[in-house]
Amino acid sequence: MSKNLRLAAFQPDIALNLGAMIRLCACFGVPLDVIEPCGFPFSVKALRRSAMDYADIAEIQRHVSWESFQETRKGRLILLSTKAAVPFWDFKFQPGDTLMTGRESAGVPDDVHAAADAAVIIPMPGGGRSLNVAMSAGMVLSEAARQLR
């Protein structure tokens, strides 16, 4: 079902959010790239509460740094960003795309933003600044999967 989609979490700050993303990826059959350092000790034990037993079935690739992630990634990198101009539902996803979320506290640095092949935004007509990072990942991953079904 994944059409070779991937999800990447850039230096996640909150273990519960990463756990939710692990569960999302396990359910969608999508590999997850975790770009370290994390804002918490990264271990299955630390994520057990939110990921439950999904960490045992999810395909998780750890990268010690942004640079090591860049060395191994294939396909386009699509950044979910509050600074983007293109709504995610207007974007044309392709097989092989990696959807990347930023840190909950700070997003991604400018050099990481510049390295993305595209950036998409979740429009929020209600006026909020941003959504939970795991919720955002689920929304955009679902749209990408819908387009590629």
Write the pLDDT tens digit of every residue in 21-45.
999 999 999 999 999 999 887 776 6
* Full-model pTM: 0.92
DSSP line for 102-124: -BTTTB--HHHHHH-SEEEE---
CA distance 149 to 2: 8
**What pLDDT is attached to residue 24?**
95
Q: How many CB atoms lie within 10 A of CB 21?
A: 30
Q: What is the pLDDT of residue 61?
A: 94
- What would the pLDDT profile of 87-144 be if each residue is shown by its tens digit? 999 999 999 999 999 999 899 999 999 999 999 999 999 988 889 999 999 999 999 9
CATH class, 6-148 region: alpha beta
Q: How is the chain split into domains, by residue range? A: 6-148
Answer whether 118's CB lies under 8 Å from 91's CB: yes
